[in-house]
Structure 1
Amino acid sequence: MLKYKLYQDNRSNAQHKGNWYAHMNLDGTMDLDELAAHMSDHGTPYSKGVICGVLNDMVGCIKELVLEGNAVKLDNLAIFSVGIESKPANTKEEFNARTHITGYKLRARATGGSINARLSQLASINQMGEYSHDEAETAENSQDANNGE
């Protein structure tokens, strides 16, 4: 069950200032060890330790492969790749990778059974209430940071 809270966008520069939006309310974050424990509880013959080892190796390999310029597809989950952030150069000749490439991002694009349309069919959702003032400020700061990307 997905849970959300309502918040009002009160940012001074908001296009829809005063409007209300849903914001996900996460129950927590599971690390690889907890994921391995969860997986081992699903009737698999593999222990939590074996699963955790495989997952840790998978993470390392995905990092290695995307940093080599590959996209890595985990069927029905996501395609992982690296994206580039850059600032403009006036001409092609002026472009210099050392000064114009400003950063890199790990991208994950939904695929297969995880595409947005399919998630919309599978998701069930429940309202948890409204954000408190502190939560609304955190959401506002998060939106401001995301809009700056």
Structure 2
Amino acid sequence: MIRYKKYQVTGENSPLKGLWYARPVIEETFDIERLAKHMSKHNTPYSAGVIKGVLADMVSCIKELILDGKNVKLDDLAIFSVGIVSKQGASSATDFSLANNVKGLKLRSRATGELSNAQINLEGQLKEASPYAVEGGDSGNAPGGSGGNDGDENENPLG
């Protein structure tokens, strides 16, 4: 069950200002050690320590491969790759330079196999984390809501 909270976009320059959207509530994050313990309880002959070691090595190798310009596909999970964040476009190939046109790099991931966006939409279920209480109208500071967009005014709530 994926719980969500309602929030209102409050960015002054946002074309979405004043509109309301849903945001998932993440209650906990599993690190490698906790994931290994969880996996070891699924009828496996491997201890949490062995699983943790394999996962740590996997993460290290994925980082190495991605930084070498390769994609890494974990079947039925995601394809990980590097993306380039642009500052602005150049008017011609001659005018293009890394300093002027590239802001940096980012990690990209996209669902693959059985964990596709379509499958998540079929199997995922949403439930409001806590009812949104409206006090004196639709203010972004009413109890139960986040009252804003967590400081990311450029976030697109539509994906």
Same fold per superposition (TM over 0.5) = yes
Instruction: Please report the TM-score for the alignment, with normalisation by the length of structure 2.
Output: 0.80
Name the residue aligned to 2:136: none
Q: Secondary structure at the match of 2:114?
A: helix
Cα gap change, 1:94/1:57 in structure 2, threshold over 3 Å: closer, same or farther? same
Q: Measure the CA separation in 1 of the matches of 2:11 and 2:95.
A: 38
Q: Measure the CA separation in 1 of the matches of 2:154 and 2:35.
A: 29
Q: Indicate conservation of the 8 Å contact 1:85/1:103, yes or no.
A: yes
Q: Indicate conservation of the 8 Å contact 2:77/2:111, yes or no.
A: yes
Percent identity over the alignment?
45
Q: Measure the CA separation in 1 of the matches of 2:20 and 2:98.
A: 42
- Normalized per residue, the structure richer in helix is 1
Q: Indicate conservation of the 8 Å contact 1:11/1:140, yes or no.
A: no
What code does the residue aligned with 1:28 have?
Answer: E
Q: Indicate conservation of the 8 Å contact 1:75/1:111, yes or no.
A: yes
Q: Measure the CA separation in 2 of the matches of 1:54 and 1:39.
A: 12
Runs of 4+ in 1 over 4 A off after TM superposition: none
- For structure 1, the 5+ residue unaligned runs are none
Name the residue aligned to 1:67: 67
Q: Measure the CA separation in 2 of the matches of 1:16 and 1:107.
A: 25
Name the residue aligned to 1:43: 43
Name the residue aligned to 2:137: none
Name the residue aligned to 1:136: 147
Q: Secondary structure at the match of 2:147?
A: helix
Cα gap change, 1:31/1:9 in structure 2, threshold over 3 Å: closer, same or farther? same
Name the residue aligned to 1:111: 112
The structural deviation recorded for 1:22 is 1.2
Single out whichever of 123-132 and 47-56 deviates more from structure 2.
123-132
What code does the residue aligned with 2:155 have?
Answer: N
Q: CA RMSD in A?
A: 2.1
Q: Secondary structure at the match of 2:18?
A: coil
